[in-house]
C-alpha cells in the first residue's frame, strides 16, 4: 500500500509514527513504546514493533508487540505466535 508507512526511532521519543496518506501527515502511536529496534508490517492495520529502552529519566514499554488497529493500540509483549502473525526476530546490541 503506497499510502501506508510506519517509522520508529531511538530513545523514549522513538515511538511509532503512522501515515495513511503517503507521508503527507503522520500520527504518533503513543502506546507503541519507544526506542524501536524493529518494525514488521503485515498490512496497514497489523504490524509488530520491537524495542526497549531505559534511560536516566525514562523507561519505555518493551518487547515485541502487535497492533491490529493501525497503531491505535498495541497488545502486551508477545512470547511467540504462529503463521503470519508470528513476531519478527528482534535483538538489541
Copy the grid coordinates of residue 30: 503513543
Beta strands in the chain (DSSP E): 5-7, 16-19, 27-29, 36-43, 46-51, 63-67
Which pLDDT tens digit goes with each residue over 7-26?
988 766 778 899 999 999 99
The residue ranges of every structural domain in the chain are: 5-80
Which pLDDT tens digit goes with each residue over 33-61?
777 888 899 999 999 988 875 555 555 55
Which pLDDT tens digit goes with each residue over 58-83?
555 567 888 999 999 888 776 544 44
Q: Which residue has the cell 504490524?
A: 47
Model pTM score: 0.71
The per-residue pLDDT of the chain, averaged, comes to 77
Angle at 82 between CA 78 and CA 83, to 5 degrees: 130
Amino acid at each position: 500500500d503506497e499510502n501506508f508507512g510506519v517509522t520508529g526511532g531511538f530513545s523514549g521519543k522513538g515511538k511509532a509514527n503512522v501515515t495513511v496518506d503517503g507521508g503527507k501527515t503522520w500520527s504518533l502511536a503513543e502506546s507503541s513504546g519507544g526506542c524501536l529496534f524493529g518494525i514488521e508490517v503485515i498490512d496497514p492495520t497489523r504490524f509488530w514493533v520491537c524495542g526497549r529502552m531505559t534511560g536516566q529519566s525514562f523507561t519505555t514499554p518493551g518487547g515485541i508487540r502487535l497492533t491490529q488497529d493501525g497503531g491505535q493500540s498495541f497488545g502486551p509483549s508477545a512470547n511467540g505466535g504462529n503463521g503470519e502473525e508470528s513476531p519478527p526476530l528482534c535483538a538489541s546490541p
